[in-house]
């Protein structure tokens, strides 16, 4: 059996700027009329989780129902995958039962291997390296707040992780200026090596430099899934990168606060910002569903 060329969404680089813009437009349409599309009628989508999830699971399950489809949520530890069945064989079997599969796993290579052998669309629900579905919702939130994306400046402050990388990749496609402030050792340049996957994103050390002139100040957890063993050190190193009202005040006067969630108030973000007047964090969480529905329509054209 050979590799196939099904339409996948693994890093976001699969999209052109035009397709991304159309997806976001469609996401807003679907937000205003959530039951208006039956694009997934008759389709079954598998959602495979090797790591915990609240938003991703909920938003995909609910969104698939709204599109007229059905989902099957699979826990990796309940699959034969956990007993040594290969990713290739899992991909071949999934391809004969369902019409698309979303995967949340640690190693990005596992996702790529699955996509290599699947004859159905595979989409990334988070790996240690990328979280492109999150970036779609981030951009949708910026677009609904500011009306258009090109020329906006977004400052991501904190750990140079999967969320930061996907924001950089999809932000570049959308014409958004992304600036990422991280301490030494936590920058995407430190993690990715000489050729960081961050495109045109600017990588800096000073949070105030990053937020100057920014329309959005974005942060994520300091201890991502898989980083638990270095949690104490991370909390010490990242403490100067907390998003608080002072830092938000150093951004543009109209700046909003974003967080992909789950949040740890008092760590990467203060309670005042998380629930304050400038946050769009809860809209951003809702927008996961609308953006992903547009993505599913794109991956499974009728
Ligand atoms: N932001 C996000 O992906 O949340 P979950 O881990 O709860 O899915
Ligand atoms: N960076 C976080 C995102 C959680 C949605 C993690 O990988 O755990």
The candidate with the shortest Cα–Cα distance to 74, out of 290, 107, 63, 93, is 93
For 37-50, write each residue's pLDDT tens digit.
999 999 999 999 99
pTM above 0.75, yes or no: yes
For 202-212, write each residue's pLDDT tens digit.
999 999 999 99
Per-residue pLDDT at 38:
98
Per-residue pLDDT at 197:
84
What are all long-range contacts of 275-280, with beta carbons under 8 Å and residues at least 24 apart?
276/245, 278/248, 280/141, 280/145, 280/256
Return d(Cα 215, Cα 145) in angstroms, integer. 10
Per-residue pLDDT at 4:
63
Among 135-139, 197-201, 209-213, 223-227, where is mean pLDDT lowest?
197-201
Q: Which two three-digit tokens encode residue 257?
A: 């606060």
Per-residue pLDDT at 199:
85
In this prediction, residues 223-235 reach a mean pLDDT of 98
The candidate with the shortest Cα–Cα distance to 278, out of 256, 261, 251, is 256
CA of 55 to the centre of ligand 1 (A): 5
Q: Is the pLDDT of residue 194 over 80?
A: no
Q: 241: buried, middle or exposed (CB in 10 Å: 19+, 13-18, 0-12)? A: buried
Q: Where are the domains of the chain?
A: 17-131+288-299, 134-285
DSSP code, position 259: E
Query: 134-285: same fold as 17-131+288-299?
Result: yes
Domain 134-285 - what CATH class? alpha beta
Mean pLDDT score of the chain: 96
Helices (H), the chain: 17-32, 55-66, 87-95, 108-117, 132-146, 162-174, 188-192, 207-211, 231-238, 245-249, 271-274, 281-299
CA atoms within 13 A on the CB side of 53: 28
Topology of domain 17-131+288-299 in CATH is: Rossmann fold (3.40.50)
Which SS3 state, helix, strand or coil, does residue 9 take? Answer: strand
Active site residue 220: yes
For 2-24, write each residue's pLDDT tens digit.
456 689 999 999 999 999 999 99
For 111-157, write each residue's pLDDT tens digit.
999 999 999 999 999 999 999 999 999 999 999 999 999 999 999 99
**Catalytic annotation, pick one of 143, 220, 280, 290:** 220
Q: Does 260 sit in the ligand 1 pocket, CB within 6 Å?
A: yes
CA atoms within 13 A on the CB side of 274: 16
CA of 38 to the centre of ligand 2 (A): 31
The candidate with the shortest Cα–Cα distance to 176, out of 208, 220, 213, 125, is 213
In this prediction, residues 150-168 reach a mean pLDDT of 98
CA of 29 to the centre of ligand 1 (A): 23
Per-residue pLDDT at 233:
98
Per-residue pLDDT at 56:
98
């Amino acid at each position: 059996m050979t590799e196939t060329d099904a339409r996948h969404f693994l890093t976001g680089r699969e999209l052109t700027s035009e397709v991304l813009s159309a997806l976001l437009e469609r996401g807003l349409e679907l937000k205003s009329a959530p039951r208006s599309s039956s694009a997934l009628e008759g389709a079954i989508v598998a959602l495979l989780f090797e790591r915990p999830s609240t938003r991703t699971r909920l938003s995909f399950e609910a969104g698939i129902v709204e599109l007229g489809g059905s989902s099957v949520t699979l826990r990796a530890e309940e699959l034969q995958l956990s007993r040594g069945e290969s990713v290739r064989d899992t991909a071949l079997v999934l391809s004969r039962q369902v019409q698309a599969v979303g995967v949340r796993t640690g190693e990005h290579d596992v996702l790529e291997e699955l996509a290599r052998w699947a004859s159905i669309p595979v989409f990334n629900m988070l790996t240690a390296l990328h979280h492109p579905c999150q970036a779609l919702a981030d951009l949708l939130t910026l677009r609904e707040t500011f009306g258009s994306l090109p020329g906006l400046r977004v400052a991501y402050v904190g750990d140079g992780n999967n969320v930061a990388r996907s924001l950089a990749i999809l932000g570049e496609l959308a014409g958004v200026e992304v600036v990422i402030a991280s301490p030494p050792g936590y920058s995407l340049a430190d993690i990715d090596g000489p050729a960081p996957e961050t495109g045109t994103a600017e990588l800096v050390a000073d949070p105030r430099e990053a937020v100057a002139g920014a329309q959005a100040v974005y942060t994520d957890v300091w201890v991502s899934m898989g980083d638990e063993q270095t949690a104490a050190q991370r909390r010490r190193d990242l403490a100067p990168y907390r998003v608080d009202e002072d830092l938000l005040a150093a951004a543009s006067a109209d700046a909003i606060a974003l967080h992909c969630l789950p949040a740890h108030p008092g760590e990467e973000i203060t309670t005042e910002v998380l629930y304050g007047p400038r946050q769009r964090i809860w809209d951003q969480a809702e927008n996961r569903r609308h953006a992903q529905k547009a993505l599913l329509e794109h991956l499974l054209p009728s």
